[in-house]
Amino acid sequence: EAGVTQFPSHSVIEKGQTVTLRCDPISGHDNLYWYRRVMGKEIKFLLHFVKESKQDESGMPNNRFLAERTGGTYSTLKVQPAELEDSGVYFCASSQRFGQGLGEAFFGQGTRLTVV
Amino acid sequence: DAKTTQPPSMDCAEGRAANLPCNHSTISGNEYVYWYRQIHSQGPQYIIHGLKNNETNEMASLIITEDRKSSTLILPHATLRDTAVYYCIARPNFGNEKLTFGTGTRLTIIP
C-alpha cells in the first residue's frame, strides 16, 4: 500500500512568487493534516481536513496560505505571495476515518520550501 | 493539550535498551500518550500510544506510571537506525485531533 506522497520534494522560489504543494493521502483516509517546520523551530500544525471539509484551520499563519481538498482526495497548499519566513519543511499526514478512534497519523516525507 | 517535558538529548550504546523518559504531570483523564520519532530528513513516524496500561508493539514498549504523570518509551535493542528525535505527545481521545510537537529528545545510538 502506498504511503502519504508529497510533491515536490524540494522547491526553491523567489520572494513574491506563488508555490503550490500537493499531498496524496493514503487511500481511504478521511483525515488529512498539514504541518510545517520552519528553521530552528518545532513542528507546527497548520490545518486538518475531514474529507473535503476544513475541520480545524487554527494553525494557518495568515491569508497568504490557502489549502484545498477538492473531492476529499488529494490536497493542495498554496502560498501566495511567498515570503522569506515561509521557508521550511511542509509535512502532510493522513489517518483513518473520523470518529473511529484516534489511530496513528502517517506522515509524508515533506516538501522542503526555500524562498530566496 | 497537556504539556510534556523531555530531556533534550540522550546517548545509548548500540544493542542496549534505550529508555526515553517523558513528564506529563498535567495530563487529563481523556488524553493518551503518543510517541513519534523523526529520523533525519524524513517525516515523523508513529511509534506507539497508550492511555494508562503498558503497551508493547513490534517497535517499542510504553510504560506509563500509575498516576499517569510520566511515561517511558523503551527501545529494547537499539540500532544505529534508531538515531532520531523522539517526541512524546499528550493528545485527547476526542475533539482536537492535531498533534502538538514539542522539542523532543534527540537520541543518538553509539556504535
Q: Could you read off the pLDDT of A9-65 as tens digits, one per residue?
A: 999 999 999 999 999 999 988 899 999 999 889 999 999 999 999 999 999 999 999
Mean pLDDT of chain A, nearest integer:
92
In chain B, the residue whose alpha carbon lies closest to the alpha carbon of A46 is: B98
Q: What 3-state DSSP class applies to B82?
A: helix
What is the sign of the dihedral through the CA atoms of B107, B40, B43 and A17?
A: positive
In chain B, the residue whose alpha carbon lies closest to the alpha carbon of A100 is: B94
Distances (CA, A) of A115 to A8, A16, A88, B29, B87: 14, 9, 9, 43, 28
Chain A: closest CA distance from residue B8 (Å): 13
Q: Check pLDDT > 80 for residue A110.
A: yes
B97: nearest CB among A42, A59, A102: A102
Rounded Cα distance, B92 and B103, in Å: 20
B93 contacts in chain A (CB < 8 Å): 101-102
Q: Check pLDDT > 70 for residue A1.
A: no
Residue by residue, pLDDT tens for chain B (111 residues) are 668 999 999 999 999 999 999 999 999 888 899 999 999 889 999 999 999 989 999 999 999 999 999 999 999 999 999 999 999 999 887 666 788 999 999 999 999
Dump strand ranges (E) for B14-101.
18-23, 31-38, 45-50, 55-56, 61-64, 70-75, 84-92
The reported pLDDT for the residue numbered B94 is 67
B42: nearest CB among A56, A93, A109: A109
Q: What is the largest CA-CA distance in chain B?
A: 43
In chain A, the residue whose alpha carbon lies closest to the alpha carbon of B33 is: A102
Of residues A72 and A86, which shows the higher confidence score? A86
- Among the ranges given (A69-73, A101-105, A108-112), the one the predictor scored with the smallest mean pLDDT: A101-105
Rounded Cα distance, B54 and B49, in Å: 9
Distances (CA, A) of A15 to A10, A79, A110, B53, B80: 16, 11, 21, 50, 39
What is the sign of the dihedral through the CA atoms of B18, B99, A59 and A32?
A: positive
Query: Averaged over A61-89, what is the pLDDT?
Result: 95
Residue with cell 510520566: B70
Decide if A110 touches B, using CB distance below 8 A: yes
Q: How many CB pairs under 8 A join A and B?
A: 50
Q: Quote the cell numbers at residue B97.
A: 485531533
Please, what is the end-to-end C-alpha distance for chain A in angstroms? 37
Q: Check pLDDT > 60 for residue A100.
A: no
Record: contact A102-B100, CB cut-off 8 A: no
Contact A92, A68 (CB under 8 A): no
Rounded Cα distance, B61 and B77, in Å: 11
Rounded Cα distance, B62 and B22, in Å: 11
A108 contacts in chain B (CB < 8 Å): 43
Query: Averaged over A90-105, what is the pLDDT?
Result: 76
Q: Is B77 exposed, middle or buried (0-12, 13-18, 19+ CB in 10 A)?
A: exposed
pLDDT bin (cut points 50, 70, 90) of residue A98 is low
Q: Which of A56, A107, A109, A112 is best to mutate for the B interface (most B CBs within 10 A)?
A: A107
The reported pLDDT for the residue numbered B97 is 76
B42 contacts in chain A (CB < 8 Å): 109-110
The reported pLDDT for the residue numbered A12 is 98
Decide if A74 touches B, using CB distance below 8 A: no
Query: Averaged over A91-107, what is the pLDDT?
Result: 77
The reported pLDDT for the residue numbered A39 is 86
The reported pLDDT for the residue numbered A70 is 86
The reported pLDDT for the residue numbered A38 is 94
The reported pLDDT for the residue numbered A69 is 97
The reported pLDDT for the residue numbered A104 is 82
Q: Is B23 exposed, middle or buried (0-12, 13-18, 19+ CB in 10 A)?
A: middle
Contact A87, A24 (CB under 8 A): no
